[in-house]
Structures are given as C-alpha cells and as structure tokens.
Structure 1
C-alpha cells in the first residue's frame, strides 16, 4: 500500500500553533494549490488543502511560514471523523506532513531576490533528508525559468482575503 502526497502551494493564512494536553506541538494551515489550466478559462482554479504538522516540524512551520509564502509539503493523506454538537458525523480529509520545505526566503520584501527557484523541479527532493523540518534546501536554478511553475512569474505573495476562502 502507498499513501504519499506532494504539494506545492501558498499558505492562505499564518499557521496556527497549538499544544496537546501532553505538550506535543501541532500546527495547522491551509495550502492553496493551483489546478492546471482547463480549456479557455482565463482564471485559474485552486484547491485549498488542510495541512497538519506535529512536534518540531510544527514549531518550525509556525516560526517561519506566513500567509502567502510558497511551500512544498510531503506527507500522507488522512481521513478522520467525529460527531459534532448536532450529533452528525463529520468527515475531515487532511494531509499529515512529515516534510515541509520553505521555497521562499523569510527575509524577502518585494522583488524576487532570495527566492528559491528550484521549486518546480526535482532538485529539492534529491539528496536531502526527509525527516521533516528541512528549510529551503533546494539548489538555485541558474538556467531559464520553468514555465510549469504557476508561481514563478513574479514571486510576490498572493493576496487572499478571508472572503475568498471556502471555509
């Protein structure tokens, strides 16, 4: 059996860090991942995927990720359910991340300097460890820009208001 998910997208809001009663850190955030172009539509559609990280990776994500930042997430898909206050069964599908790579520098303000250009290729996944908490460790792409990356055009954060989100 195989359950692996790899996503590249931008955070829709700052990560929320909490601690379990046992003191284990858990962070939740949502990643906006663009869909491929379909037909003659001018606007891109996006999927908003909930991400959960645990322990040291959770604290690292809470400290360094912010709304609009580009990140790569690797993990597994999990479906859980619970009974809400009205007695209805609620199903939640989320990605439990075991590796998050920060694809933009934390200190960049405008412009594309300090940006990790290797986001679209496989340079971020070759060689590096998969234990989680890896910061932006991809190599810089010194060749031509890869147009398959939907965020490669300007590198600025996407301005997503809370009204644009489906939840």
Structure 2
C-alpha cells in the first residue's frame, strides 16, 4: 500500500513540475447565515480542472480546505472567462466547542488574465456549500450532528502563474 501511495504522489508531483502552476491568495465572505470573513491561499494547475484552496475563517476561528473542479470554462473575450464549478469542502475547528464537517459545492465565477503572457490572474466566484458534520462540546462532553444547509461563500483572489 505504501508503494502505491508513493507512486501516486510521485506521479502528481511530476505532472505539476512540468505544468504551468498558479499560486496566490484569496479573501472572501461566507454567509452561513451571518457573514464572516476569511483569508487563504490557492493553487491551480493548467493541466487539471481542479483548484485547491485553504483558508482561515476569522469569526469562527476555523480552517477550511476546498477542492473545486471547473467543469465548464468558456471564454468571454481574449482575457476574460467564466466558469461553473462543483467540488468538495472540508472544515473544522479545535476548541472547547469543536467541529468537523464536509460538504458539496456548486457555483459560478469569472476570471481575468492581465497580461498577454497570462502570468497574473484575478478571479471571483460564489458557491452554494451545504455541509454536514459533528459538533463536540468538551465542557459538557456532548456530541451532536452539525447540518448547515444554507452556506454561501463568495471569494476573490489573485494568482501568479509560474
């Protein structure tokens, strides 16, 4: 099993090494139901439709990991594109009232490249991200189910393509 995981990891890193990769920062607001801000990092490769972002939520003091697949990607003009996405999210917080959750994402966005060499990208997207998970209250030692049906994150960011 270790050899298989090592092989998959080597294949991933080799494919990224030869691809153009965009790395950057993003910020956003998550409405679930009250608005709270977040900031994070993002990475995307030109050879895969998947984008990965990790962010920290300031109000909840939680961390999120998001995997988005840009399954529709259409040009509006030479520098501006729109996209539709689906993906997965994972989040959690470790404090007296801890939680771990996962959910599905569906959304739409727009991105723009600034130079002819396509080395700088600005993007924004909005998604619907319902999630389910587990709450744990350390003080009362209670475990409960966490369900958030109405979560709408809106993010904007910038990527530098290397």
Same fold (TM over 0.5): no
Structure richer in strand, relative to its length: 2
When Rg is computed on C-alpha atoms for both structures, the one with the higher figure is: 2
